[in-house]
Structure 1
Amino acid sequence: MTMTATSSRYRGSLAGRVTLLTTLAVAGSIALIAVGLYFVVRIQLQANMDESLLTRATSAAANTASIQDARTGASFPTWVLNAGDIQVAEVYDSHNYWSPTLGTFPRPGVPEEAVAKREAKQSVRTVSTSVGVFRVVAVPIPDSDSALMLAQSLGPQQEMYKRLGFVVLFFGAAGVVAAAFAGWVVAAGGLRPVRRLTASVDRIATTEDLTPLPVEGDDEIARLATSFNRMLTAVSASRDRQRQLVADASHELRTPLTSLRTNVELLTQADASISGEQRADLLGDIRAQIEELTNLIGDLVELARDEPAEPTLETIDLSDVVDRALSRVRLRAPSVTFTEEMSPWWVMGDASSLERAVTNLLDNAAKWSPASGTVHISLNAGVLNVDDEGPGIADADIPYVFDRFYRSTEARSMPGSGLGLAIVRQVAERTGGSVSAARSPYGGARMTLRLPGSASPRPTEPPAAVLNDEGLKH
């Protein structure tokens, strides 16, 4: 129990988990987009710079004209002017080069020497110096054994990268915070029906008020509330049946207990004036009342079970069950004649429960049959009909004869608790069948028990293998 509570506290609330998952999902998406955007922009800017440098270098190197300084008489090529805002140099090899800005110009290397010697068409690389980082390109100068080398500082571009990274980081963090807030708002609003449902369930657990909950909408929460209402209806019906069973049982038990107590008191207060015959009659009454009370308690226990205790399911011939029940009922009703017309019908069920149900049907028919009357029993294709020649069942009573403790006006003066036919219905439903009551063509009542099954028993073992034409088993 401790581990479960700790785990529950660690997991936190559902709203918190939804908010956290939403925040993590959005944060991951923003981080992925930001990193991708940063590198795409950086690569694109670098590519644009390289293309611009190469274009300028190629254009400047193609112009072979020169300009002469009037003061000194020195001349220099016009590409010095065409290079614009970048530093330029004419490279002969990795050690010999000329540049107007020798002090700050990055030294040429092997890639630039390869271009000057026409071993490479061009070169593009990044060079770090004491004065900064430069992007350097080199292209060959036509009609010359040298290469034009252009260098542009990456300082401004790196500053732009920093500003871009800060902007992406700032707006990414703002997006994560906004996502967390939005996730919390959505979770709080979306889970409000869950909290209402939880509060209603707590109220039902505290007050035991099984009134169905109001259902709004048609979403998952509404379907959950609908399912919960169905459960409440089932629990309420079960509680009502339990209360009715207790009330009816107390009513039915009161009469035999009162009679039994009266007879016992008579015996304890008896004196010599009570003859042996009277004492025997009292003991006979007590014995009959104890038997009636025992049967009533057994019926109550049987009906109180929602499912039979440890049922033994087996393949049973219903005609054999009827024969066993009939032999018992014949002993209890010797004045009644029983006729039977049955064919085998195999069902899957509990033998003792089925025998009790059939016995109750036969007892009911024998009880209502007149002296020297006949009970007609037929079993065909899973339909068991039990007909008596009694007064029959009134049309108003037919829908209720299988209810617990129901006894018609005519039956209240006869022995019984009103539980026998209720047990028949319960056993029939457990076995997958049904039971019904109607008027009999013989003038009395007809009780019909229908059970699913087959005219032949199911095989208890797989069929033995047989040989085909090729002598192989299949």
Structure 2
Amino acid sequence: MSIVKSLDRGRRELVGTVHERVHQWTLRVSLAARVATLTTLAVALTLGSVSASVYLVVRAELVSNLDASIRDRAEQAVASGYTPSSITDRDADLLDVAGIEIFTLQGGAYLTSLTNSTEVDMTRAEEAVSLGQVPSSARTAIVDGVTYRVVAVPAGPGSALIMVQPMDSIQQTLDRLGLILVITTLAGMAVAGAAGWAVATNGLRPVRRLTRAAEHVARTQELQPIEVVGRDELARLTTSFNQMLLALDASQLQQRRLVADAGHELRTPLTSLRTNVELLTQSSQAGRPLRDEQAVEVMTDIRAQVEELTTLIGDLVELARDEPLHHDPEPMDLADVVAHAIDRVRLRAPALTFDVDLATWWVEGEPRALERAVTNLLDNAAKWSPPDGTVEVTLADGVVTVRDHGPGIAEADLPHVFERFYRSSEARTLPGSGLGLSIVRRAAERHGGTVEVQSEPGHGATFRMSVPGSNPSPAHTSASESSQ
């Protein structure tokens, strides 16, 4: 049992070693060389199988023809009343020239008709023929390095006529055939290897172009698309690679714009903070402290700038998050999210009236991101609404609609309101970072939704944010609130 286990363990180790060697060879050899090698092996296997089949079939056919020829002669000799003494010297010479020797098997002993006969041992096959158990027999015997074909036929009761003929001519034919088949197989392998290498080299040219392009991008950071040739799978791969380059280029452009815009937006509050801090420092060093009302004014300004910086940094962090939605989103009622956002904005704008009509709409997503998006829409509406104005908020079939009755948005500004840091000329004098509506669009897209705006100058603006979801119950939860 231990020997069997040792052999099995040795076999597994051998197989593992072979697999490891093949894996290492695969890693070292190029793809074109692997394709050419596999092509050569496939052709070699095919040609080898065909050559072996041809060789075996031809050999069997030649041996069968030789057996039939010897058997016909033996049967004719038996039919003509052959006896060992009936062979003349002339017949013996002819048989000797043809390489044929004749034996008779009688009483379990050989009787030869030629003086220089080859000693061929009797076997059970010839004995069965002499006993009449089989009609004939044929076998191959090797005597002194020479291959003979031995054929026996019945020659009477208890006897058999045996003819022995060398297979030199057949073996020469088979040797020539084997040589031809080997040469043909080797030539086919060489042609297949060359063809496989040529096909692999030409077929992988687009892959090499992609490799050079990727290396060029890694070396120079230049995201230039490469030329697409043909319409095959490699052309599709090239097209996909170009699309990836364009996406990377757009991402880099957005990052540069974000950094530039963030630097521009941060410069103003930082400059104001530095000015106020320097004012406080100089007044303290000069021994002339500010009056109470001046100190209060400076500290109020510093507090406002710090709040603006905090808001701006929070918005930048929110936009910098590029991860997809969580794998386990949380189910929620969007109506509750909108209601919480309204409560927060109402505290910041107590003079406004919020006309609310919410219907239950269940979604799966991030409550924090959705509430932030709705809050930004409400803050934007509150900022542009007139004093004591009304903001209309509705939720129906997954569409959150926020409408204000302010001055509206100019037609030239409508395509840009959701861009980062975009602020119209009228908005530059108002507080804000220009990132709120960008965060709204980002949150909607992360949840598979959209956001759009409609406005007519002088008649306010209407923002609609849609979020995919469902309403499992036919009942609607509606609320109409108004506060002054």
TM-score calculated relative to the size of structure 1: 0.84
- 1:87 has 2:101 as partner: yes
Give me the whole-angstrom Cα distance separating, in 2, the residues matched to 1:312 and 1:138: 87
Tell me the number of residue pairs that the alignment of Structure 1 and Structure 2 aligns.
444
**Structure 2 residue aligned with 1:56:** 73
Q: Is 366-375 or 182-191 further displaced after alignment?
A: 182-191
- Identify the match of residue 47 of structure 1 among 54, 61, 64: 64
- 1:189 has 2:202 as partner: yes
- Identify the match of residue 439 of structure 1 among 432, 449, 455: 455
Give me the whole-angstrom Cα distance separating, in 1, the residues matched to 2:86 and 2:408: 138
Q: Secondary structure at the match of 1:138?
A: strand
**Structure 2 residue aligned with 1:202:** 215
- 1:329 has 2:329 as partner: no
Which of 1 and 2 has higher RCO (CA within 8 Å, sep 6+)?
2
- Identify the match of residue 38 of structure 1 among 55, 76, 81: 55
Give me the whole-angstrom Cα distance separating, in 1, the residues matched to 2:335 and 2:145: 111
- Identify the match of residue 224 of structure 1 among 237, 248, 256: 237
**Structure 2 residue aligned with 1:406:** 422
**Structure 2 residue aligned with 1:449:** 465
Structure 1 residues 96 and 317: alpha-carbon distance in aligned structure 2, compared to 1, 3 A threshold = closer
Gapped runs of 5+ residues in structure 2? Answer: 1-19, 474-484
**Structure 1 residue aligned with 2:35:** 18
Give me the whole-angstrom Cα distance separating, in 2, the residues matched to 1:221 and 1:362: 50
**Structure 2 residue aligned with 1:386:** 402
Give me the whole-angstrom Cα distance separating, in 2, the residues matched to 1:311 and 1:157: 77
Structure 1 residues 378 and 316: alpha-carbon distance in aligned structure 2, compared to 1, 3 A threshold = same
Q: Which amino acid aligns with 1:160?
A: T
Give me the whole-angstrom Cα distance separating, in 2, the residues matched to 1:363 and 1:120: 110
Give me the whole-angstrom Cα distance separating, in 2, the residues matched to 1:108 and 1:8: 54
Alignment check: 8 A CA contact 1:388 1:442 kept: no
Alignment check: 8 A CA contact 2:407 2:457 kept: no
**Structure 1 residue aligned with 2:393:** 377
**CA shift at 1:149, angstroms?**
3.1
- 1:138 has 2:152 as partner: yes
**Structure 1 residue aligned with 2:138:** 124
- Identify the match of residue 340 of structure 1 among 350, 353, 356: 356
**CA shift at 1:165, angstroms?**
2.9
Alignment check: 8 A CA contact 1:112 1:123 kept: yes
Kindly report the root-mean-square deviation, in angstroms, between the aligned alpha carbons of the 2 structures: 3.1
Q: Which amino acid aligns with 1:153?
A: P
Structure 1 residues 140 and 287: alpha-carbon distance in aligned structure 2, compared to 1, 3 A threshold = closer
Q: Which amino acid aligns with 1:188?
A: T
Alignment check: 8 A CA contact 2:140 2:150 kept: yes
**Structure 2 residue aligned with 1:295:** 311
Q: Which amino acid aligns with 1:287?
A: R
**CA shift at 1:200, angstroms?**
1.4
Q: Secondary structure at the match of 1:367?
A: helix
Give me the whole-angstrom Cα distance separating, in 2, the residues matched to 1:219 and 1:374: 60
Give me the whole-angstrom Cα distance separating, in 1, the residues matched to 2:244 and 2:145: 81
Q: Residues 234-261 of structure 1, C-alpha deviation per residue, up to 9 Å, x if partnerless?
A: 1111111101111111111111111222
Q: Residues 106-144 of structure 1, C-alpha deviation per residue, up to 9 Å, x if partnerless?
A: 4573654654554543332334445944323233447x8
**Structure 2 residue aligned with 1:397:** 413
Q: Residues 422-448 of structure 1, C-alpha deviation per residue, up to 9 Å, x if partnerless?
A: 111111111222211113799211111
Q: Which amino acid aligns with 1:199?
A: R
Give me the whole-angstrom Cα distance separating, in 2, the residues matched to 1:149 and 1:252: 113
Give me the whole-angstrom Cα distance separating, in 2, the residues matched to 1:188 and 1:387: 64
Alignment check: 8 A CA contact 1:92 1:113 kept: no
Q: Which amino acid aligns with 1:443?
A: H
Alignment check: 8 A CA contact 1:140 1:148 kept: yes
Q: Which amino acid aligns with 2:396?
A: N
What does residue range 91-106 of structure 1 map to in structure 2 within 5 Å? 91-95=105-109, 97-99=111-113, 101-106=114-119
Alignment check: 8 A CA contact 1:65 1:78 kept: no
- Identify the match of residue 267 of structure 1 among 276, 280, 287: 280
**CA shift at 1:315, angstroms?**
2.1
Q: Is 413-422 or 240-249 further displaced after alignment?
A: 413-422
**CA shift at 1:400, angstroms?**
1.4
Q: Secondary structure at the match of 1:268?
A: helix
**CA shift at 1:80, angstroms?**
4.6
TM-score calculated relative to the size of structure 2: 0.82
Structure 1 residues 149 and 79: alpha-carbon distance in aligned structure 2, compared to 1, 3 A threshold = farther
Give me the whole-angstrom Cα distance separating, in 2, the residues matched to 1:406 and 1:446: 18
Q: Is 269-278 or 322-331 further displaced after alignment?
A: 269-278
Higher helix share: 2
Q: Which amino acid aligns with 2:79?
A: A
Give me the whole-angstrom Cα distance separating, in 1, the residues matched to 2:203 and 2:365: 50
Q: Which amino acid aligns with 1:201?
A: A
- 1:175 has 2:178 as partner: no
Alignment check: 8 A CA contact 2:329 2:364 kept: yes
**Structure 2 residue aligned with 1:426:** 442
- Identify the match of residue 360 of structure 1 among 376, 381, 385: 376
- Identify the match of residue 300 of structure 2 among 284, 289, 313: 284
Percentage identity across aligned positions?
A: 50
Give me the whole-angstrom Cα distance separating, in 1, the residues matched to 2:67 and 2:229: 65
Gapped runs of 5+ residues in structure 1? Answer: 67-73, 458-474
Q: Secondary structure at the match of 1:307?
A: coil
Give me the whole-angstrom Cα distance separating, in 2, the residues matched to 1:230 and 1:59: 87
Give me the whole-angstrom Cα distance separating, in 1, the residues matched to 2:267 and 2:145: 112
Structure 1 residues 308 and 294: alpha-carbon distance in aligned structure 2, compared to 1, 3 A threshold = farther
Give me the whole-angstrom Cα distance separating, in 2, the residues matched to 1:311 and 1:277: 54
